[in-house]
Each structure stands twice: as C-alpha cells, then as structure tokens.
Amino acid sequence: MTRHALAAGAASGLTRLSGLIREVVFAAFFGAGVETDAFVAAQRVPNLFRDLFAEGSMSNAFVPNFAKTAEKDGIEAAWALANALLGLTLLVLGVLLMMMIIFAKAWVFIVAAGFYSVPAKVELTANLVRILAPFLAAVSMASVFGGMLNVRGKFFLPMVAPAAFNVAIILGCLLAGPIETITTLSPIYT
C-alpha cells in the first residue's frame, strides 16, 4: 500500500510540475492577446464536459461497479461491463462532439459571452472549439481505462497520464517555434 501511495504521490507531483511548466511555456510563446483568449475559452468547452462526464460521475459510478463485478462474478464479467460502458460512452461522446461542433458559437456564448462584442474573436473561438472537441473523447476513454487500471492495482500510469499531455503541449510549443499561431498548435491538444 505504501508503494502505491508513493507512486501516486510522485505521479501527482510530476503532473503538477509539468502543468506549471506547460503554462509558463505557453505564456512565453503566446503571451496575452485575442488568439490566446480565444484558445483558453475554446478549451473550456470540452473541459466542462470532462469535469462532469469523464472525471466526475461516470468514473465515480464505474470504478466501484467494475471492482464489485470482478470480485463477485469474475474478471470476464467485469470486462463485459467495461465493454458495455465503453460502447455507451462512445455513443454519448459522439452526440456531445457533434453538439460541440455544430453549436460551437452557442458554446462560445456560454463560456465567453463578452467575446460577442468582437465578431472575429467569436469566429476564431468557435473554430477552436471545433478543433479541440475531440479532446473530450480522448480524455473520457483515458478515464475509463484509468479506472480499470486502478481496480487492477495499477495506479501510477493513470496518475501520470496528464503529465504526458503536458509534455506534448510543451514539445509542441518548443518544436513549432514562436512564429506559429495558436490555431496551428491547437490540434496538439487532440
């Protein structure tokens, strides 16, 4: 148990540190401005659903049921439960992603109503919402798989996965160089 706690603590620390570095690198490359505002607002849309859907009630409901099913009915029954959840999750995500893409401007109004005084900013933010929407699918699937790994006693990988995301953003900024725009780099998030 102590080993798992140490691994989880180390992974959490690594994730926090890499997140801080990501923010510093991002700010150094893009600073403040219309594009940065648009990007930050656009990423809020999939993150709202991530907070609610992937890392909220779904994970809290799935992990105990997966563990209970594995213990009571065997691992094969638990995998069947996981497969059913993954199928349902993909179906729901498909609908949510389509809603994000089709109604991108409405989502911009929800997360950044003040942008509507600058139509070009709304347009840019809506386009970024469309580009960043698949992030929700990736993080939702990672959440389900992370829950299954936790039940199987594997804690480090699910805890360190966000650090890999942060490193990808850092590398994207560093490799693309300061001449690239946020709209060019936003697919790195997906």
Q: Is residue 36 part of a domain?
A: no
Look at the chain and report how many structural domains it folds into: 2
For residues 69 and 160, give the distance between their C-alpha atoms in angstroms, rounded to a whole number.
26
pLDDT, one tens digit per residue, over 60-100 is 788 888 889 989 999 899 999 999 988 988 898 899 999 99
Instruction: Mark whether 134 and 167 lie in a shared domain.
Output: no
Instruction: Mark whether 55 and 73 lie in a shared domain.
Output: yes
Instruction: Mark whether 106 and 80 lie in a shared domain.
Output: yes
Q: C-alpha angle 154/143/148, rounded to 5°?
A: 40
Tell me, what DSSP letter sits at residue 112? -
Instruction: Mark whether 143 and 183 lie in a shared domain.
Output: no
Q: Is residue 79 part of a domain?
A: yes
Instruction: Mark whether 74 and 165 lie in a shared domain.
Output: no
What average pLDDT does the segment 175-189 reach?
Answer: 58
pLDDT, one tens digit per residue, over 121-155 is 999 999 999 998 988 888 888 888 888 888 888 88
Domain boundaries, position 181: 1-31+157-190
Q: Is residue 38 part of a domain?
A: no
Q: Is residue 55 part of a domain?
A: yes
Instruction: Mark whether 71 and 90 lie in a shared domain.
Output: yes
The overall average pLDDT reported for the chain is 84
Instruction: Mark whether 119 and 72 lie in a shared domain.
Output: yes
Question: How many beta carbons lie within 10 A of that of residue 170, not counting itself?
Answer: 19
